[in-house]
Structure 1
Amino acid sequence: MPRLATSSFDKTVRVWDVDNPGYSLRTFTGHSASVMSLDFHPNKEDLICSCDSDGEIRYWSINNGSCSRVSKGGTTKMRFQPRLGRYLAAAAGNIVSILDVETQACRYSLKGHTKTIDSVCWDPSGELLASVSEDSVRVWNLGTGTDGECS
């Protein structure tokens, strides 16, 4: 994908053309607080998602420049599940919520950190999720059989 995205404390998300870095393809506005994290959907080239420090998650259409959905649940980091993009991992405080991208239902609430989560990262299969805070690193199994358990 020849696109790059940036989030900002000015409450915007920008999508850039990699071949022409001085040209912003889109500027998305609508967040009421600083945008802390964003991610492209792994197989829907039109979809990008962002979260702000007030816990608002916004889904944006790159092609038409509009916000397609708003929900709550992420304040620091969020990442789409690789390959399928069925789930969105969103960290807020010391909890990671696993949200169903289509319905916005919270599938799992992963608890175990005592400090604020700084980062989340999926393994390439999309079955394991690592969450990192000042006090610990936790690896969660979201595959079949042991859904939502800390490994």
Structure 2
Amino acid sequence: MKTFKFPARHGYAVEISPFIPTRLACATSQYYGIAGCGTLLVLEQTETGIALVKSFDWNDGLFDVTWSESNEHILLTGGGDGSLQVWDTANPQPGPLQVLKEHTQEVYSVDWSQTREENLVVSGSWDRTAKVWDLSRGGQSLCTLQGHEGVIYSTLWSPHIPGCFASASGDGTLRVWDVKTGRCRLAIPAHKAEILSCDWCKYDQNVIVTGAVDCSLCVWDLRNVRQPLSRLRGHSYAIRRVKFSPFNQTVLASCSYDFTVRLWDYSRTEQPLLETLEHHSEFVCGLDFNLQIPNQVVDCSWDETVKIYTPLCLAAPPPSAR
């Protein structure tokens, strides 16, 4: 396991570059995101550890980060002042290339579309709106989508369907949106609690997982949402982020305020929990799988560390029978 320590900053989100498998970015905040500034860390995985490539400071906390899908140097962050910041790792200047300011409260989620037909960004905010942006068209959003009755914690593009994204909210619903019509296609009362995270399956356009304050994960088939495909229990506090594996259709990871990261196989009706990792001393808020290095995971925590590792359950060959 490789560890990078960033004193006086608390990790909120981490994402590995889609272009450079050894490069990652971490969005951090001072004073646990309650007050103070934020720092974007651009890190490089080496043979012996993790090195700092570049850092960018912002005058408010940073809560999420996403890499551009078209330019290896460009990143986007969401901040506590309601703005989105565009950064360029090749730019010698310390400030952002662009600042997008329309949200009226914290931007808690940003995501860059992965489909080739578009180059869009979606943001989700505590102001209960999601906004879609085309950064090549200036600083105004293309559209604002409303419908959630609680704060939006997570907004994520479908990796399969152009112009489609999902959002998870404090109102307990998971919603699927169509940008072309500007409407909600589906609203699922997924949990009787705040939903803090969601993720799309990389292999099936109809499968989404949600993670909530009720300590459970629910895997949903959008063709039949009367009940989840699987309900995964094991965390003892709220689930902060969920991620599907890019290498195994039914494997996913979750991180929590219980200081743990857990690996699951939702296809297992008995013992879906594969492994529990307890290597942090504070809330674990950021989590990602490496798209190019099989089974490698990165996470970040309020304990001021980023960690890169391969869980034992993924490193071992799969059992021949379940």
Q: TM-score, normalised by structure 1?
A: 0.90
Q: Secondary structure at the match of 1:24?
A: coil
| 1:88 pairs with 2:205 | no
The root-mean-square deviation of aligned C-alpha atoms, in Å, is 1.6
1:49-108 Cα distance to aligned partner (Å, 9 max, x none): 111112112111111111111111251101111132231110112000001122223000
**Partner of residue 169 from structure 2, selected from 45, 52, 60:** 52
**Partner of residue 250 from structure 2, selected from 127, 130, 148:** 127
**Partner of residue 108 from structure 1, selected from 209, 226, 230:** 230
Aligned pairs for 1:16-55 (under 5 A) are 16-55=133-172
- Whole-Å separation in 2 of the counterparts to 1:25 and 1:3: 9
Are the equivalent residues in 2 in contact too, given 1:37–1:78 (CA < 8 A)? yes
Aligned residues: 149
The one-letter code matched in structure 1 to 2:119 is P
Deviation at 1:23, TM superposition (A): 2.7
Distance 1:86 1:17, change over 3 A: same
> Which structure 1 residue ranges, 5 or more long, are not aligned?
none
- Who is 1:99 aligned against? 220
Distance 1:27 1:130, change over 3 A: same
Are the equivalent residues in 2 in contact too, given 1:60–1:67 (CA < 8 A)? yes
- Whole-Å separation in 2 of the counterparts to 1:116 and 1:13: 23
Structure 1 window deviating more from structure 2 (69-78 vs 94-103): it is 69-78
Are the equivalent residues in 2 in contact too, given 1:116–1:134 (CA < 8 A)? yes
The one-letter code matched in structure 1 to 2:246 is P
Are the equivalent residues in 2 in contact too, given 1:128–1:139 (CA < 8 A)? yes
**Partner of residue 69 from structure 1, selected from 155, 173, 186:** 186
Q: TM-score, normalised by structure 2?
A: 0.44
- Whole-Å separation in 2 of the counterparts to 1:138 and 1:72: 24
- Whole-Å separation in 2 of the counterparts to 1:69 and 1:63: 15
Indicate the percent of aligned positions where both proteins have the same amino acid: 25
| 1:2 pairs with 2:127 | no
- Who is 1:138 aligned against? 262
Runs of 4+ in 1 over 6 A off after TM superposition: none
Deviation at 1:142, TM superposition (A): 3.2
Q: Secondary structure at the match of 2:223?
A: coil
**Higher Rg:** 2
Are the equivalent residues in 1 in contact too, given 2:212–2:240 (CA < 8 A)? no
Deviation at 1:134, TM superposition (A): 2.7
Are the equivalent residues in 2 in contact too, given 1:89–1:98 (CA < 8 A)? yes
- Who is 2:101 aligned against? none
Deviation at 1:21, TM superposition (A): 4.4
